[in-house]
């Protein structure tokens, strides 16, 4: 069984999450863009933000008899948004928005830990952010483990 249905379902899960959708409309006045991609961050247009890019950078195969059937697939979610200056303390507002965006992504992933039955488990992992170095553009990245079904 291919991991491809799980990657497609990962995109669908994030797109269809009501809280994430409401957050994007409330904070950015538009819907979330989600792409499965290998694109570098520098190639993202501000008109695409808010955005989540889904990549699959690595696979850890399980040893043993069923090693071709099982394994942990790493997905990486690059998420970002553009928040222009609208008040005197926009950096603090950007920080708050970044934290909330990340938490909503994790909550969406945790709501269905099998991605509609396409994986045995999805496990959100570590995340990092750019600490606002490109203010008013903010980005973070979250690693996600996908345990492939037999």
Domains for the chain: give ranges and CATH numbers. Answer: 4-148 (3.30.70)
pLDDT tens column, 92-140 = 788 899 999 999 999 999 999 999 999 999 999 999 999 888 888 999 9
Whether residue 9 has pLDDT greater than 90: yes
User: Which of 119, 122, 127 minimizes the C-alpha distance to 143?
Assistant: 127
Question: Of all residues in the chain, what percent carry a pLDDT higher than 70?
Answer: 84
Closest by CA position to 138, among listed 70, 54, 78: 78
The pLDDT value given to residue 134: 86
Report the candidate in 66, 149, 63, 78 with the shortest Cα–Cα distance to residue 113.
149
What does the pLDDT average to over 25-46? 84
Is the pLDDT confidence value at 23 over 90? yes
Coil, strand or helix at 97: helix
Residue 37 contacts residue 84 (beta carbons within 8 Å) = no
| pTM assigned to the model | 0.87
Q: Cα separation of 44 and 84, whole Å?
A: 16
């Amino acid at each position: 069984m291919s991991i491809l249905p799980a990657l497609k379902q990962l995109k669908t899960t994030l797109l269809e999450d009501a809280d994430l959708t409401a957050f994007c409309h409330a904070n950015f006045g538009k819907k979330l863009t989600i792409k499965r991609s290998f694109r570098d961050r520098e190639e993202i247009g501000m008109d695409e933000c808010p955005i989540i890019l889904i990549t699959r950078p690595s696979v850890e195969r399980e040893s043993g008899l069923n090693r071709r059937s099982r394994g942990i697939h790493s997905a990486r979610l690059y998420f970002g948004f553009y928040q222009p200056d609208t008040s005197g303390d926009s950096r603090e507002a950007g920080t708050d928005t970044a934290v909330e965006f990340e938490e909503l992504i994790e909550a969406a992933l945790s709501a269905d830990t099998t991605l509609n039955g396409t994986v045995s488990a999805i496990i959100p992992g570590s995340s990092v952010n750019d600490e606002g170095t490109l203010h008013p553009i903010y980005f973070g990245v979250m690693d996600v483990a996908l345990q492939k079904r037999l």
